[in-house]
Amino acid sequence: MNTRENPTNDPSLESWVESARGHGDFPIQNLPFGVFTRRTDGELACVGVAIGDSALDLSACWEAGLFAGTPVEHVNVFARDSLNDFVEAGPEAWSAVRGRVSELLRTDTSTLRDDAAVRDTALVEQGKIAMQLPMRIGDYTDFYASAYHATNVGKMFRPDGEPLLPNYKHLPVGYHGRASSIVVSGEEVRRPMGQTKADDAAPTFGPCRLLDYELEMGFFIGVENSLGARVSVEAAKKHIFGMVIVNDWSARDIQKWEYVPLGPFNAKNFATSVSPWVVTLEALAPFQVKHTTRGADDPPLLEYLKGADEDAYDIQLEVGIASAQMRTVGTAPHIVSRGSFRDMFWTITQMAAHHTSTGCNLRVGDLLASGTVSGPEESARGCLLELTWRGTNPITLPTREERKFLADGDELVMRGWCERAGATRIGFGECRGIVTPAE
Amino acid sequence: MNTRENPTNDPSLESWVESARGHGDFPIQNLPFGVFTRRTDGELACVGVAIGDSALDLSACWEAGLFAGTPVEHVNVFARDSLNDFVEAGPEAWSAVRGRVSELLRTDTSTLRDDAAVRDTALVEQGKIAMQLPMRIGDYTDFYASAYHATNVGKMFRPDGEPLLPNYKHLPVGYHGRASSIVVSGEEVRRPMGQTKADDAAPTFGPCRLLDYELEMGFFIGVENSLGARVSVEAAKKHIFGMVIVNDWSARDIQKWEYVPLGPFNAKNFATSVSPWVVTLEALAPFQVKHTTRGADDPPLLEYLKGADEDAYDIQLEVGIASAQMRTVGTAPHIVSRGSFRDMFWTITQMAAHHTSTGCNLRVGDLLASGTVSGPEESARGCLLELTWRGTNPITLPTREERKFLADGDELVMRGWCERAGATRIGFGECRGIVTPAE
């Protein structure tokens, strides 16, 4: 079966959960997975699915016997503080569980709809839960897959040379990131201290002065490859569980001084935020589109990177900033950029294939991120470095505050969603984070 | 109490385990921790301590009540497949357990010596066990802390510029490495495939042709710092559990093409080997020496990197290579370099302090490695890149085979030990790995 035509994605489906029937992020065609705790008491975390303005506690559903007949019927893999055990159960289990949840939430299925006791336990308003990091992440890798972003950075930092380095169009450049400091949307991000150096001065240690965000998409590995085994572009999708929005917070002044010759280190290791709901590739299938960013003049692909012609995803992305002052007066986040993930030069399948081309093992829960998502338009630049062109062209907020880089108290709000004619709009929710002062 | 004078390090101590009384790596003054399984059946892994040619199964000792009165008396943290739970118990537990093991193994303690039943279960010849990766590693960080190594690399790759980049003496340069592919000594290492590019040709994909090793020392984090909390140089030692030898296998041809601008990625992610026995900082304390590599002409240290004047460790290191042909005829590994960890420009406490200076959290089990350990002498160069000066000066093995870089079938054998007058010699054992052909 073509996953694009998966019955769980059928636009004619409707849920008896009323809030899922509008144009929000979480209709019955989405059903992303996350981990939450109820805010009330010291309750344990559980795995859930977002539906409209609510979340469905899959552990409670399991206890009620609603997953009988699925691959997870024998162990409650939802009574966990991460998705890992569920994801370890494999692609058939993901699909079967999502199918069962779709069935349970459909207008015409009474099982859960009419069982007040189970329903009132399992269905909880999102406003009453606290989302957790969805996966226990072993390794985190960050790519640099937008040629628009890489070109802009190249123009700024190497004005006299070719903006793209010679390797850029031959392989998806990436580097190992820091897994320990990945936090879920909503957690505050402290401005880091660090060593920086002004051009004609000695290095100093102090609060980062050029704090930036980077809008990225991330994908979680769902099926591991053993050490020494390569994953082809064609097979890669079967290894990917789903996607989230990623904010790769970046200290530009720390990065500038430290990054030669081994790449970014302290400039990126203080925090990375991810959105809490993992949207499965199954739900995203209707939004897969032709991968069109590689042009006729670009160098030919080596064989191991071919086969991704249909592997782009049209995910609309936007970034908003709300300063402390804006939040005080109740002004909505000011949208500073809008773009699409389809504009990336490299696909997620090429990233996974390249990463494993040496035999490197990707494990369940590993996070791979795309690098800054920037598009061809100036309005589609995914970080302040590009948007303000290193601070030379500041942004003005509705409060008339100017921003070259982030100020303490600024809240970043990233949103992502997919829509097209003939399919139901689905979304990722938000990836938020407020910058708190250095300490 | 000064840890240098810890009673467990007293040179007058002797063990009733006869093989621990020679000049080997594992006298009673060492007592490094590791994880092993017996080779016989499907037995579960356990935590053990090396003593002479044997290993002491701490789980069996715990079951026999031998850890009563220590901080771990209530939970058998040794019935595990990693050291993590034991290490999580904290520095007092590490010290108390090592103290109890020292007591149990002393000539004059009869408890274990004369209890044949427990002793025969718990004490097992190292030849009859299979060592496992000692820790469950969350994040792996690799530094570049030898100025001799960095200078040599700079001379080779930037012959017209200053060999050391401007930041080198101001901060310990490092990068995030790949945790998933860290393997224990003895595991085979497959030559990676990868994308490389000769100077005047298009890129190609195929087996790495310039495979190298890097001799490094690694240290495991034993006490975490929470996200946002910095660890000072002075406090850093309290966060470190112990050290191992690390072989940072490197594909030089992959690295050369991929590494700009984000650093090494696929060139290093296919394997990293570590020695199996973690030598505690407590055991290493007698070999702490003055940190003398920073000269009067070097730039002043920023405050957050000061305080490491006594934090060097005089660990003797040597690297041997045994080709397949040498092993066939029974020739011992050919020693290609000898050096000391005391020659590093940055100390392990400076590395930890710099790493956390942004508030980055280090978790229990995280591995930080030093980067290639090279010394001032040509004979103390810690990788083939330097030893053969990019292949221009090949090494000749006793079999008259030449090596510019590693050949399939080559076995790398790294050894490390400490000795000085007035202290008992202790060692790390070996970090071994055989290169198998690309597939």
| Tens place of pLDDT per residue across chain A (439 aa) | 445 679 999 999 999 999 999 889 999 999 999 999 997 767 799 999 999 999 999 999 999 999 999 999 999 999 999 999 999 999 999 999 999 999 999 999 999 999 999 999 999 999 999 999 999 999 999 999 999 999 999 999 889 999 999 999 999 999 999 999 999 999 999 999 999 999 999 999 999 999 999 999 999 999 999 999 999 999 999 999 999 999 999 999 999 999 999 999 999 999 999 999 999 999 999 999 999 999 999 999 999 999 999 999 999 999 999 999 999 999 999 999 999 999 999 999 999 999 999 999 999 999 999 999 999 999 999 999 999 999 999 999 999 999 999 999 999 999 999 999 999 999 999 999 999 999 9
pLDDT digits (tens, 9 = 90+) for B295-333: 999 999 999 999 999 999 999 999 999 999 999 999 999
Residues of A with CB below 8 A from B354's CB? 195, 266
Q: How far is B95 from chain A (nearest CA, A)?
A: 27
Question: What is the Cα–Cα distance from B370 to B359, expressed in whole angstroms?
Answer: 20
Query: What's the whole-number mean pLDDT along residues B422-438?
Result: 98
Of A227, A254, A302, the CB nearest to B205: A302
Q: How far is A5 from chain B (nearest CA, A)?
A: 35
Nearest CA in chain B to A359: B270
**Tokens read off for A150:** 């890489």
Residue A4 has a pLDDT of 63
Residue B431 has a pLDDT of 98
Which pLDDT band holds residue B123 (cuts at 50, 70, 90)? Answer: very high
The reply to whether residue B358 touches residue A176, judged by beta carbons under 8 angstroms, is no
Short-list B242, B190, B191, B234, CA closest to B217: B242
Residue B22 has a pLDDT of 87
Residues of B with CB below 8 A from A195's CB? 170-171, 302, 304, 354, 357
Q: Residues of chain B with pLDDT > 90: what percent?
A: 96
Nearest CA in chain B to A304: B205
The reply to whether residue B299 touches residue A202, judged by beta carbons under 8 angstroms, is yes
Which pLDDT band holds residue B39 (cuts at 50, 70, 90)? Answer: confident
Q: Is the pTM of this model over 0.95?
A: yes
Residue A43 has a pLDDT of 79
- Determine which of A187, A191, A232, A262 to mutate to test the interface with B (most B C-beta atoms within 10 Å): A262
pLDDT digits (tens, 9 = 90+) for B339-388: 999 999 999 999 999 999 999 999 999 999 999 999 999 999 999 999 99
Residues of A with CB below 8 A from B357's CB? 193-195, 205, 266
- Determine which of A253, A358, A385 to mutate to test the interface with B (most B C-beta atoms within 10 Å): A358
Of B192, B262, B355, the CB nearest to A173: B262
Residues of B with CB below 8 A from A192's CB? 358-359
Q: B23, B74, B149, B239: which is the annotated catalytic residue?
A: B149
Q: Residues of chain B with pLDDT > 70: what percent?
A: 99
The reply to whether residue A144 touches residue B269, judged by beta carbons under 8 angstroms, is no
Could you tell me where in chain B the CATH 3.90.850.10 domains are found? 140-436
Q: How many CB pairs under 8 A join A and B?
A: 189
Residue B4 has a pLDDT of 64
Q: What is the mean pLDDT of chain B?
A: 96
Cβ(A79)–Cβ(A59) below 8 Å = yes
Of B227, B266, B304, the CB nearest to A358: B266
Q: Which CATH architecture has domain B3-131?
A: Roll (2.30)
Q: Which fold has domain B140-436?
A: Fumarylacetoacetate hydrolase; domain 2 (3.90.850)
The reply to whether residue B262 touches residue A258, judged by beta carbons under 8 angstroms, is no
The reply to whether residue B262 touches residue A357, judged by beta carbons under 8 angstroms, is no
Nearest CA in chain B to A254: B358
Residues of A with CB below 8 A from B165's CB? 260-261
| B100: pLDDT strictly greater than 50 | yes
Query: What's the whole-number mean pLDDT along residues B75-95?
Result: 98
The reply to whether residue A228 touches residue B144, judged by beta carbons under 8 angstroms, is no
Q: What phi and psi values does residue B34 have, to the nearest 5 degrees?
A: -150, 180
Residues of B with CB below 8 A from A205's CB? 302-304, 357
Short-list A256, A197, A194, CA closest to A385: A256
Residues of B with CB below 8 A from A439's CB? 228, 359
Burial of B69 (0-12, 13-18, 19+ CB in 10 A): exposed
Of A177, A304, A355, the CB nearest to B205: A304
Which pLDDT band holds residue B1 (cuts at 50, 70, 90)? Answer: very low
Residue A1 has a pLDDT of 40
Question: What is the Cα–Cα distance from A216 to B232, expressed in whole angstroms?
Answer: 33
Q: Where do we find the tokens 């490859």?
A: A225
Question: What is the Cα–Cα distance from B434 to B413, expressed in whole angstroms?
Answer: 9
The reply to whether residue A175 touches residue B176, judged by beta carbons under 8 angstroms, is yes
Cβ(A140)–Cβ(A372) below 8 Å = no
The reply to whether residue B139 touches residue A439, judged by beta carbons under 8 angstroms, is no
